[in-house]
Structure 1
Amino acid sequence: MARHLIQGREVTMPVRVREAAVSGACYLVRADAARAVLAYSGLDAAEVLPGKALCTLAFVDYADGDLDSYHEFGVAFLIRPPEAGPAPRRGLRANLAELRRAGAGTFVHWLPVDQGFTLEAGRAIWGFPKELAELDLRLDSPYKRCVVRRDGRLVLDLLVKPGLRVPVRGSLTPADAYSHLDGVTRRIPWSVAPRGVRARPGGALIRLGNHPVARELSELGLPKRALGSFTVARTAMVFGEAKTL
């Protein structure tokens, strides 16, 4: 059983999250712009439609877990594994299913958090690009909102509207997460057990600030109408040991 020493505390693998709430939105963005953003990682954005890549913005309230309680915001892209070959020119749903079969993953490009312990653990254990930021999560109404500020500057303000209930049973294994930090690319297996899932087409409003990350998102074509949005009232998660590629 792998163990990591973080700030004098031993973290045993796998890392477990016992309760969290998640909200987010998915966007179709320009594939050439997404590739430019991801160039540093050596990974390739998946084209889910000709000339279009998939970018997900999500915020999480980690209420109870091995890395304590904290808030997190993520910018991630669906990536195409090198062995998958070119994307088939089909519809969006068929392309996503084909990429899933080919082993597509989720590349975590930016991951601000508001607590120092998870910051160090995330970077040391998985190579996640965590950095400290001010995250204002407002989750007490059906409308979920996150305001992200860093270095005193607004990055973005994301509002997710309530959707329809989606039946989900048991534990799920999403596409592996990928990270790149200090020249090293890693693959991270994980699983989730969501409850209270809601989803809908569109359903998100986004306002960008003047931070460099906001400018990067604007170059992808945001703000724009979301492809879809989602909320998860409660979920457990398990994160496995990272594998260096």
Structure 2
Amino acid sequence: MASHLIQGRTITMPVRVTDATVCSAMYPVRADAARAVIAYSGLDVAEVLPGKAICTLVFVQYRDSDLDSYHEFGVAFLVRPPGSGRTRAAGPATLRSAGAFVHWLPVNQGFTLEAGRTIWGFPKELADIELRLSSPYKRCIVRKDGRLIIDMLLKPGVPVPGAAAATPLTAYTHLDGVTRRVPAKMWARGMRVRPGGALVRLGNHPVAKELSELGLPKRALMTTTLRAAMTFDTAGDA
């Protein structure tokens, strides 16, 4: 069984998350602009419609996990599996094989930062992440070096029925010149989904500028809120 030594603690794979709240919004963006943003990874975006890619903004409160409790914000893009050929198919069917490339992933705790970078190559960095999840509206405010990056507000939608079956997920990361594939699973409960449902205010940080160049803020395609348990297994080459 694989393990890693992080700050004097042994972390055994797979890493388990027992309880987390996950809030996300998916945005249709220009595929050429998204390709330019993630060109360094060697991956290609999945086009859900001709010329359109998906950028997902997500914030997570990890209440109980092998990497302790912490807050996280993420910017990710749906991408085609490596080696899927040169033809850029477009359409909803591309979602079945798409993975999520994690472009930016600030966290608010040092242990998960080191673990995420060392074990999987996640592009974690420290930031101030304020989460307000107790009210009907879910809010996340991210600042770094005293500068506002994003202020995001989600309005949960209607409940989605169904058992909390394990859903396999594929994440891709890139750090220190290496692109990796991270297999994961998620057990969701209390899921709510709605079209639109997100308000975004961008600050003056370079990441905010990058998001504005993708066309944000704009109407979200869909927002999702849920409680989840997860596992993250050993990363391999993409």
Q: Where on the TM-score scale, by shorter chain, does this alignment land: which range?
A: over 0.9
Match of 1:75 in 2: 75
What number of residue pairs does the alignment pair up? 237
The answer to whether the 8 A contact 1:142-1:161 is kept is yes
In the other structure, the counterpart of 1:236 is 229
Which consecutive unaligned segments of at least 5 residues does structure 2 have?
none
2:126 corresponds in structure 1 to 132
Query: Corresponding residue for 2:201?
Result: 207
- Structure 2 counterpart of 1:97, from 88, 93, 100: 93
Once the two structures are superposed, what CA deviation does each residue of 1:81-124 show, in whole Å capped at 9, x if it has no partner?
A: 231553445xxxxx233441xx3210000000000000000000
Q: Secondary structure at the match of 1:119?
A: helix
Secondary structure of the equivalent of 1:112? Answer: strand
Contact 1:168/1:194 (<8 A) preserved? no
Kept in 2, the 8 Å contact 1:19–1:235? The answer is: yes
Matched, 1:109 2:110: no
Q: Which residue of 2 aligns with 1:187?
A: 181
After TM superposition, where is structure 1 displaced by more than 6 Å over at least 4 residues in a row? none
The residue number in structure 2 matching 1:92 is none
For residues 155-177 of structure 1, what are the alpha-carbon distances to aligned partners after superposition, in whole Å with 9 as ceiling and x for unaligned? Answer: 00000002000113133324300
User: Would the aligned equivalents of 2:169 and 2:186 in 1 still touch at CA under 8 Å?
Assistant: no
Distance 1:83 1:72, change over 3 A: same
Q: Structure 1 residues 204 and 43, CA, compared in 2 at 3 Å: closer, same or farther? A: same
C-alpha distance in structure 1 between counterparts of 2:107 and 2:195, whole Å: 28
Tell whether the 8 Å contact from 1:168 to 1:197 is kept in structure 2 after alignment: no
Alignment of 1:162 with 2:143, yes or no, is no
| C-alpha deviation, 1:151, in angstroms | 1.4
Contact in 2 for aligned 1:104/1:175 (Cα 8 Å): no
- Identity, % of aligned pairs? 69
TM-score, length of structure 1 as denominator length: 0.94
> Paired residue for 2:214?
220
Q: Is the 8 A contact 2:46 2:94 kept in 1?
A: no
Amino acid at match of 1:201: P
Question: Which one-letter code corresponds to 2:84 in the other structure?
Answer: E
2-side partners of 1:44 and 1:163: how far apart?
31
- For the aligned residues, what is the CA RMSD? 1.2
Kept after mapping to 1: 8 A contact 2:196/2:220: yes
Structure 1: give runs of 5+ residues left out of the alignment.
Answer: 90-94
Residues 1:174 and 1:75: Cα distance change in structure 2 (over 3 Å): farther
